[in-house]
Amino acid sequence: MDQTTPIKLAALRQTMQQHKVAACLIPSADPHLSEYLPDHWQARAWLSGFTGSAGTLVVTATHAGLWTDSRYFAQATQQLAGSGIDLMKQRIAHAPEHLEWLQQNLQAGQTLAVAGDSISLATARQLERRLESVGAGLRTDLDLPGLIWSDRPGLPLDAIVEHPARYAILSRADKLGRLRTAMRKLEASHHLLSSLDDIAWLTNLRGSDVECNPVFLAHLLVQAEGHATLFVDRGKLSDALVVALAADGIHIANYATVVDALTELGPKDRLLFDAGRVVVAVAGALTSAVRSIEASNPTTLFKARKSEPELDHVRDAMRRDGAALVRAFRRLEERLTAGMTQTELDVDTLLREERSAQPDFVGESFATIAGYQANGALPHYRATPEQHSTLKSQGLLLVDSGGQYLGGTTDITRVLALGETTAEQRRDATLVMKGMIALSRTRFPKGASGPQLDALARAPLWASGMDYGHGTGHGVGYFLNVHEGPHGIRPPVSGAALVALEPGMITSIEPGLYKPGRHGIRHENLAVVVEADKTEFGEFYAFETLTLCPFDRRALEPGLLNPEERAWLDDYHATVRAALAPLLEEADLAWLERHCAPL
């Protein structure tokens, strides 16, 4: 627990009282509704001491609650202990979500405050409806945590760079042309983009304003007939880059002036924007005279469907990444065999060293999760110098890591047997593997969505009365965010839109199983949707596995795999061996050959 959390809560409550606010909502969000946030917008973490990437804090005069999902229950329990903040578990039967809780606990005449730069227009509307039903109101013009955050970090100032044309494939002009065609079909004269990965993809620019995600803080206003305006800190751009952008019809304006530009739109203008991806503080600048066209950003689907030249770069990045992992895992195994003391932190260091030696490596795609034994049961565990485990020559080590390369983004999880394992551990690892294989080798009709396939990965666990609390797969960007929409593989949610899986979409396939206090299992590959067959019943798609790294068969119980599953695993390892062997030598090559041998 952050020892100052009770003091911060007391200061917040005093400020709430001064402004006659009954409740304060602090989401995990920035003006771009990013998953991972620059330090400037880490108000929820600063106030609560809970450092997980997903969480919502609600504070009233008498209660403080932190809503988060099952990935973070153990972490939140530990970090909130003694803070005066209750853990409110999300997506648990009969437990209210934070919007429902606010509706139940606020009374007529009371006011809820939330900073307008941290809540989407769509969510604010939903919240207003709930509050109106009980006679309560909403204020979005108050950033109450900001009023008491005296040492709040400033905005990031790192440089913005060009994504090399060799890797970007399509030029800015081509991408803008595609977008403007989509705008005209929707009869939009202007289009507002606030989502950072959409902007980075469209402009062929990359930055480092968000940890592990190569994006930069900006808004973008595109005219269907005319130029585009990039609202960004001019100091991040070189003069040469400003000239290059101008040549493609992109003008530069100050980051903070996007609101001014929107207020200048008039009755003849028709603005396209996604109400779920633009914050109230920005969308609120629109006058009632402007016609709004609310729809998904066309670029979100454009960038999700990778082209064949992009996929060729991704496949090459996967080979380089796989070779780096083989070297790191071999070195770890060698050190443990020699009796050297190794910790979860050393695993992180080994991976970073080997990836950094690869061509076109830029950085990690997320903070490495290296969880030994019971720590592996924490899906988003992160070892720190203050709290980590020492590895022993027994049990399981879960390693979830990824890299950002100029030609692609990787994300892979492997479970390593460091020595003797229990029958329970091997059974659990094999049941998760059966689910992974089932989904990896499935075929599905055109138009099918991730939620329709999710159960395939869970069925082997369900048959044994077990399950996991996270989604089975997320989209992955192209040298962009490691979590990318609009598609995903997760259990169906009532009322949620179903996004069809289309050729070129990359998704993770990562079933898991977590037993608190004992061990955690997660196997993860990235795969791309490809065309498979045409029959009298229509077109069918399949997954091509992209990730290239052996699974540790010592963690499995081969007798639980049927002949088709054994064949899939042997075929996968043969593919891995053929792809990685040319990149490895001597001890590393011998390690690869040993771990890719047929079952």
Domain check: are 377 and 293 in the same one? Answer: no
Whether residues 537 and 406 fall in one domain: yes
Give pLDDT, residue 1. 44
Regarding whether 140 and 212 lie in a shared domain, the answer is: no
Contact 564, 570 (CB under 8 A): no
pLDDT (0 to 100) of residue 493: 86
pLDDT of residue 568: 98
CB 60 within 8 A of CB 85: no
* Mean pLDDT score across all residues of the chain: 96
300 and 318 share one domain: no
**Residues 60 and 16 placed together within one structural domain of the fold:** yes
pLDDT for 264 equals 94
Domain contains 507: yes
Q: According to the model, what pLDDT value does residue 522 have?
A: 98
CATH number at residue 420: 3.90.230.10
Residue 331 belongs to a domain: yes
Residue 218, by phi and psi: left (phi above 0), alpha (psi -120 to 50) or beta? beta
Q: What would the pLDDT profile of 184-202 be if each residue is shown by its tens digit? A: 999 999 999 999 999 999 9
Domain termination site, one of 304, 325, 349: 304
Cβ atoms of residues 371 and 344 within 8 Å: yes
Nearest by Cα to 438 from 295, 575, 568, 278: 568
In the numeric block, the tokens 């692609």 are attached to 408
- Classify residue 37: in a domain, yes or no: yes
φ/ψ of 398, rounded to 5, equals -95, 125
Are 526 and 409 part of one and the same domain? yes
The token duo for 142 is 């108050």
Choice between 183 and 94, residue whose per-residue pLDDT is larger: 183
Q: Are residues 188 and 283 in the same domain?
A: yes
| pLDDT at site 505 | 98
The CATH number of whichever domain residue 118 belongs to comes to 3.40.350.10
Closest by CA position to 373, among listed 170, 518, 549: 518
In a domain, 156, yes or no: no
Structure confidence by residue, pLDDT tens digits, 461-520: 999 999 999 999 999 999 999 999 999 999 998 888 899 999 999 999 999 999 999 999
pLDDT for position 3: 55
Long-range contacts of 262-266 (CB under 8 A, 24+ apart): 262/192, 262/221, 262/286, 263/287, 265/190, 265/290, 266/290
Say how far apart CA 316 and CA 228 lie, in whole Å: 34
Rounded to an integer, the average pLDDT of 69-81 is 88
- Work out the angle at residue 110's Cα, subtended by the Cα atoms of residues 104 and 112, and round it to the nearest 5 degrees: 75
- Asked, for residue 324, whether it belongs to a domain, the answer is yes
* Both tokens assigned to 462: 């369900």
At 397 the pLDDT is 98
Are residues 312 and 431 located together in one domain of the fold?
Answer: yes
pLDDT in tens, 520-576: 999 999 999 999 999 999 999 999 999 999 999 999 999 999 999 999 999 999 999
Q: Band of the pLDDT at 288, cuts 50, 70, 90?
A: confident
Instruction: Mark whether 282 and 300 lie in a shared domain.
Output: yes
Query: Position of tokens 């100052």?
Result: 4
Question: How is the chain split among helix, strand and coil, in percent rounded to 5?
Answer: 40, 20, 40
**Same domain, residue pair 177 and 324:** no
HEC per residue, 315-371: HHHHHHHHHHHHHHHHHHHHHHHCCCCCEHHHHHHHHHHHHHCCCCEEEECCCCEEE
Question: Does 278 share its domain with 347?
Answer: no
Closest CA to 49 of 84, 91, 97, 94: 84
pLDDT of residue 84 exceeding 70: yes
β-pairing, 111-113 vs 23-26, is parallel
pLDDT at position 560: 98
Is 97 in the same domain as 190? no
The Cα–Cα gap between 179 and 285 comes to: 24
Q: How far apart are CA 537 and CA 529, in angstroms?
A: 19
Domain range for 287: 161-304
Q: Could you count the other beta carbons within 10 Å of the beta carbon of residue 518?
A: 16
CA angle 330, 332, 335 (to 5 degrees): 110
Number of domains in the chain: 3
Give the torsion sign (CA, 272, 133, 118, 143). Answer: positive
Confidence of residue 377 (pLDDT cuts 50, 70, 90): very high
Q: In this predicted model, what pLDDT tens digit does every residue of 15-50 receive, in sequence order? A: 999 999 999 999 999 999 999 999 999 999 999 999
Query: What is the rounded distance in angstroms from the CA atom of residue 8 to the CA atom of residue 273?
Result: 36
3-state secondary structure of 94: coil
**Among residues 276, 304, 332, which one ends one of the domains?**
304
* Among candidate residues 264, 288, 304, the one where a domain is terminated: 304
Question: Which helix H or strand E contains 420, and what residues bound it?
Answer: none
* pLDDT tens, residue by residue, 232-270: 999 999 999 999 999 999 999 999 999 999 999 999 999
Residue 473 lies in a domain: yes
40, part of any domain: yes
Q: Do residues 364 and 401 touch, judged by C-beta distance below 8 A?
A: yes
Contacts of 86 (CB under 8 A, 6+ apart): 63, 64, 65, 66, 80
Q: Does residue 2 register a pLDDT over 60?
A: no
Residue 153 lies in a domain: no
Percent of the chain with pLDDT over 90: 92
